[in-house]
Amino acid sequence: MPIISIAIQKGGSGKTTTTINLAAALQRSGKKVLLIDADPQANLSQSLGIEDEPEHNLYTELKKEMLGEESDISKAILEIRPGFSVIPASIELAGAEIELVGVYSREHILSALIEPIVADYDFIFIDCPHAIGMLTINALVASDYVLMPLQGEFLPLKGVHSFMRHYEIVRKKLNKKLSLLGFVLIKYDERKLMNTRVKDSLEKVFENKVFKSVIRTNIQLAKAQEAGTDIFLFDKYSNGATDYRNLAEEFLNRLELQDTFKENVQELEAVVS
């Protein structure tokens, strides 16, 4: 039941688009997924057709958890269709950034809040805000993996660089089980020199952490978001649908590989100790 934060310190990097469509591809392959909208912009919620802020949402339950009151995150879960559910955001989440600062065990509030429901899903995805604040830190503390979508340009690469510093601190001080699942290039065009250069540089530094599957620029992805649905319901024959389907396949393979890797490490430790 891995929890995956979709995060990078750069706006408009495809975090929300990747959260929705990777999760939708996994659900279509029979997995049970939950999406958590941890961004006060509530783009994920809106992109799934949730226009009004529901009475129970991530903020209302986080607030209770912060105050030490009885919280029930299951009340905030909306089932979009079987196997595909979301915990919506609200604009008040922006206030949570500040409210969380003064709370006891402030980095662990989200993790404590969702703990009772984690076992109900095959995958939980957290769509993070682009800023590194208390919400992103809470998401990273609650997660097993972080997945970073980015455009193949120079500035997003800087976003990766500054995000990695925070990632390392969280890993060292707050959540030792967190690991980097990888980078996904979005709006990718192999004819663009800058795109291939950025991919090459990432591969040089992070080696096999760069997903082979790339997401090409595809207007249908933006249109699906506008229509309040995922790419498979909107246009399953589009390049966007093909690319996210491939990404989901590689995502599953990678998780399996990481599991074997962990086991091997344990085996190795057993031998040398």
Ligand X SMILES: Nc1ncnc2c1ncn2[C@@H]1O[C@H](COP(=O)(O)OP(=O)(O)OP(=O)(O)O)[C@@H](O)[C@H]1O
* Shortest distance, position 131 Cβ to ligand X, whole Å: 9
Pick one of 5, 9, 17, 238: the residue that binds ligand X (CB under 6 A).
17
Applying CB under 5 A, does 43 fall inside the site for Mg ion?
yes
CB of 83 to ligand X, least distance (A): 22
Instruction: List all residues 6 or more positions away from 202 whose beta carbon is below 8 Å from its beta carbon.
Output: 157, 160, 183, 185, 209, 210
Per CB under 5 A, 16 contacts Mg ion: yes
Site string for ligand X, 126-165 (x = CB under 6 A): ----x-----------------------------------
Q: Which does 195 bind (CB under 5 to 8 A by kind): ligand X, Mg ion, none?
A: none
Q: Which does 12 bind (CB under 5 to 8 A by kind): Mg ion, ligand X, none?
A: ligand X
Which residue number has the CB closest to Mg ion? Answer: 16
Q: What mask, x for binding ligand X by CB under 6 A, covers residues 206 to 245?
A: ---------x-xxx-xx--x--------------------
CB burial of 174-203 (b: ≥16 within 10 Å; e: otherwise) equals: ebeebbebbbbbbbbeeeeeebeebbeebe
- Nearer residue to Mg ion within complex by CB, 43 or 229: 43
Contacts (CB under 6 A) with ligand X, residues 42-61: 43
Note whether 13 binds ligand X by CB under 6 A: yes
For residue 217, the partner it binds in Mg ion, ligand X, none, with Cβ less than 5 to 8 A by kind, is: ligand X
Among 4, 7, 14, 15, binds Mg ion (CB under 5 A): 15
Residue 218 contacts which entry, Mg ion, ligand X, none (Cβ below 5-8 A, type-dependent):
ligand X
- Which residues contact ligand X (rule: CB under 6 A)? 11-17, 39, 41, 43, 130, 186-187, 215, 217-219, 221-222, 225
- Which residues contact Mg ion (rule: CB under 5 A)? 15-16, 43
